[in-house]
A = this chain, B = another copy of it.
Amino acid sequence: MQDLWHWFDLVGVAVFAISGTLIAHSKHMDGFGVIVLATVTGIGGGTVRDIILDTPVFWLRDPSYFIAIFTAIALSIYVLNRQRNMPAQLLQIADAFGLAFFAVMGMQKAVLLGMPNTTVVIMGVLTGCFGGVIRDVLAREIPLLLKGELYAITCIAGGIVYTQALSFDLGMTVAMWSAMATTLCMRLAAMRWNWVIHVFRYPEGHQSS
């Protein structure tokens, strides 16, 4: 079980590293900085989670994460240099998988540290979203998080599923998988059908950006 979590963490890190490489490519960045951007995107969310929870940062004594990151980056670069016509949504799909993996890992860690449910959900949102926010700030994009589409709320939905599953004693494995599926499906569906929540009512003639 412990092993499974470690693998999940590795996959989440790798997927976000891919999304960092993709955005760097799409903005025509180059050089080793691309690799740094991918690394920061990969470990950013979990690092902030661990700092706030005041547990040792997960990669400090475990170089396996960097192996995962460099494999993911090398693979992305290889594919990007081969196949010139990338499917446009690839970045967002990679981001959706990273979001779901990381959200669950964040909630997991908060539960194991005995945090209240609010904090568990917040940790899910933070772990899931923060890597992508760092990526977008450094690439000078408006963070995906702040655009109209369903984003953070998919983590909150996953968090509610997760905490409810635990409170009904369904066990951690069920809780993790169902939360991950909830977040991933909601996010993919939001991308597919452009689900948007409006919180502001703007006067006619204005477009939300």
Q: Point out residues on A near B: beta carbons under 8 Å.
A: 24-25, 27-37, 47, 51-54, 56-57, 59-61, 63, 66, 77, 80-81, 84, 115-116, 118-119, 122, 125, 129, 133, 137-140, 142-143, 145-153, 196-203, 206-209
Least Cβ distance of A183 to chain B in Å? 14
**Copies of this chain, count:** 3
Q: Are A138 and B133 in contact (CB under 8 A)?
A: yes
Residues of B contacting A27 in the complex (Cβ-Cβ under 8 angstroms): 209
Q: Are B31 and A115 in contact (CB under 8 A)?
A: no
Q: Are B137 and A31 in contact (CB under 8 A)?
A: no
Least Cβ distance of A150 to chain B in Å? 7
Known: A33-B146, A33-B151, A36-B146. A199 touches B28 (CB 8 A): no
Q: Are B116 and A37 in contact (CB under 8 A)?
A: no
Known: A33-B152, A36-B125, A142-B140. A116 touches B61 (CB 8 A): yes
Q: Are B125 and A208 in contact (CB under 8 A)?
A: no
Q: Are B209 and A28 in contact (CB under 8 A)?
A: yes
Residues of B contacting A77 in the complex (Cβ-Cβ under 8 angstroms): 199-200
Q: Are A34 and B151 in contact (CB under 8 A)?
A: no
Q: Are B138 and A31 in contact (CB under 8 A)?
A: no
Residues of B contacting A24 in the complex (Cβ-Cβ under 8 angstroms): 146, 200
Residues of B contacting A119 in the complex (Cβ-Cβ under 8 angstroms): 59-61, 63
Q: Are A197 and B32 in contact (CB under 8 A)?
A: yes
